[in-house]
Structure 1
Amino acid sequence: MHGAIVSSFKRYLDSALGEDIWRHAIEEAGLKGKTYMPVSIYPDEEMEALLSAAERACGLRRDDLLGDFGEWVIAPLMHLYKAMIPQDCDATGFLLNLQQTHERVLKLKDPEARAPGITVKRCGGGLVEIRYASTRNMGAMIPGAVKGLARWFHEEVELLASEPGQGGEETYVFRLSSGELTSQQVG
């Protein structure tokens, strides 16, 4: 797991749910004393253990925790990798290049690292289909991350459909459109 995700998960828990959640999670996961650096790669099992422990500590379901984290993590990641984002990009353009960008970032850190399979297809009428495939089973981050991207690019987003697949594969269909965000769409 990319260190930027694990270290961001700690920051998310600290700011959104309280520092006690992280302390409890890292201890329960058997990782007390471990420090996560954004520039490193860590075993997927450690993130899964932290996620499971955080789920128990805060009482949120795993998918809800991942969705909230997915939305929260976009702004810090966009700031971190700002140089890799074309200036004329919108949310759909960013999503269409997501897999390539994700792989490029990972390969800078570890040539052997494998990014999850994220296939994005523009369907017309502002519709975007995202297919996530990974044994990491973190697809529940996708709706939150797309919501966070829409906010970043000052666009509106609506999740129209989601369908679980087999072996960690999930498909989502979103409608993205330019425009001012309303408090109802953001919240």
Structure 2
Amino acid sequence: MHGSIIILLKRYVQTQYDHSTWVTLMELSGISKVEFDHKTVYPDEYIYALVGHASAMTGVSAGELHERFGEYLVPDLMYMYQRLLRPEWKTLDMIEHTELTMHKQVRKEHTENSPPVLDVTRIGPNELVIEYVSDRRMGGLAVGIVRGLANYYDEADQIHIIPTTSEDGEHVNIRVRRIPPRGE
């Protein structure tokens, strides 16, 4: 897992809970001596352990925590990749172009990093299907990012997200539909 994601997870935990919760999660995960930096790729087991212990501490499922964190990530991701974005894009456009813009750039800059593969099929102007493929099994994170994008583009009340498979699989299908406002 890329260090920038873990650093953002730390900030998420500290803002949603507090710093001592982060320290406890690090201790429970057996990684309290690790100093994360944004340029390093860390073992996926770190994030699994952190989220697993957070789930046990809060009573919130790991999948739900992934979704919440995914939603939280969006403003930072949009800032980090703003040079790759087009001003006319909205939620569905952003999803449709993620693989060939942001993920392509991540793979180019960090060859040891492996973001999920997003095979997006545009069904029509207001609907698409995402096939999320990753052995990390964090489809909930993708669902959260879609929600975050809808908030970012001020379309949260128009975007409907329907996972059509289990969100904790290696292959997750997610249908995203935009219901345009009246008169559009």
Distance of 1:166 and 1:54 partners within structure 2 = 17
CA contact (8 A) 2:7 2:36 kept: yes
Distance of 2:113 and 2:88 partners within structure 1 = 29
Q: Matches of residues 102-181 of structure 1 in structure 2 within 5 Å?
A: 102-108=103-109, 110-124=110-124, 126-155=126-155, 156-164=158-166, 168-177=170-179
User: Structure 1 pair 77/161, CA: closer, same or farther in 2 (3 Å)?
Assistant: closer
User: Structure 1 pair 103/125, CA: closer, same or farther in 2 (3 Å)?
Assistant: closer
State, as a whole percentage, how many aligned pairs show the same letter. 26
Distance of 1:75 and 1:178 partners within structure 2 = 23
Q: Deviations over 1:51-95 (max 9, x none)?
A: 112212222110110111111111111112212212222211111
Q: Could you tell me which runs of 5 or more consecutive residues in structure 2 were left unpaired when the two chains were aligned.
A: none
1:19: Cα distance to partner? Answer: 2.3
Q: Could you tell me which runs of 5 or more consecutive residues in structure 1 were left unpaired when the two chains were aligned.
A: 180-187
3-state DSSP class of the match of 1:122?
Answer: strand
Distance of 2:11 and 2:180 partners within structure 1 = 30
User: Structure 1 pair 53/103, CA: closer, same or farther in 2 (3 Å)?
Assistant: farther
Distance of 1:178 and 1:72 partners within structure 2 = 24
Distance of 1:131 and 1:63 partners within structure 2 = 17
Aligned to 1:71: 71
In the superposition, the TM-score normalised over structure 2's length comes to 0.88
1:62 aligns with 2:62: yes
What is the total number of aligned residue pairs between the two structures?
Answer: 179
3-state DSSP class of the match of 2:27?
Answer: helix
- Report the aligned-residue RMSD: 2.1
Distance of 1:113 and 1:71 partners within structure 2 = 21
Q: Matches of residues 19-30 of structure 1 in structure 2 within 5 Å?
A: 19-30=19-30
Moved more, 62-71 or 92-101: 92-101
Aligned to 1:99: 99
